[in-house]
């Protein structure tokens, strides 16, 4: 019986260690409310795909209305003044927001 309880303790310790590793306990974390620099590009890419409702590779003023922070700066972000945000223009606005 004692060997069995040791096995349970060992399993519990192993599961705790694996869970901590999986959730990044002890890893560097960003300040709450900010996005780590390495994640900003990925976040912008995901947001761009979601914002580009008609999947034409650009985000128009109509499409960006669901994103108030970018919508308010649409004219400023549309640096080539073509009436749409390219992925680069969108990403610049997204990075400034975060």
| pLDDT score, position 42 | 80
- State the fold for domain 37-97: Recoverin; domain 1 (1.10.238)
The domain segmentation of the chain, as residue ranges, is 37-97
Average pLDDT value for the chain = 75
- Specify the residue for token string 């992925």: 87
| pLDDT score, position 17 | 58
d(CA 40, CA 34): 10
Q: What is the pLDDT of residues 40-70, one digit of tens each?
A: 568 889 989 999 999 999 999 999 888 888 8
Mean pLDDT of all residues in 25-45: 57
Structure tokens at 34: 């900010």
**Confidence band for 38, pLDDT divided at 50, 70 and 90:** very low
Q: Which residue has the higher pLDDT, 5 or 78?
A: 78
- Crossing angle of helices 87-97 and 37-51, rounded to 10°: 130
């Amino acid at each position: 019986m004692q060997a069995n309880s040791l096995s349970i303790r060992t399993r519990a310790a192993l599961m705790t260690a694996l869970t901590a590793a999986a959730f990044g306990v002890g890893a560097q974390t960003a300040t709450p409310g900010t996005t780590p620099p390495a994640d900003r590009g990925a976040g912008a890419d995901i947001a761009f795909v979601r914002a580009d409702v008609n999947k034409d590779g650009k985000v128009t003023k109509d499409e960006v209305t669901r994103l108030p922070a970018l919508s308010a700066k649409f004219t400023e972000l549309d640096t080539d003044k073509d009436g749409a945000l390219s992925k680069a223009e969108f990403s610049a606005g997204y990075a400034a927001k975060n």
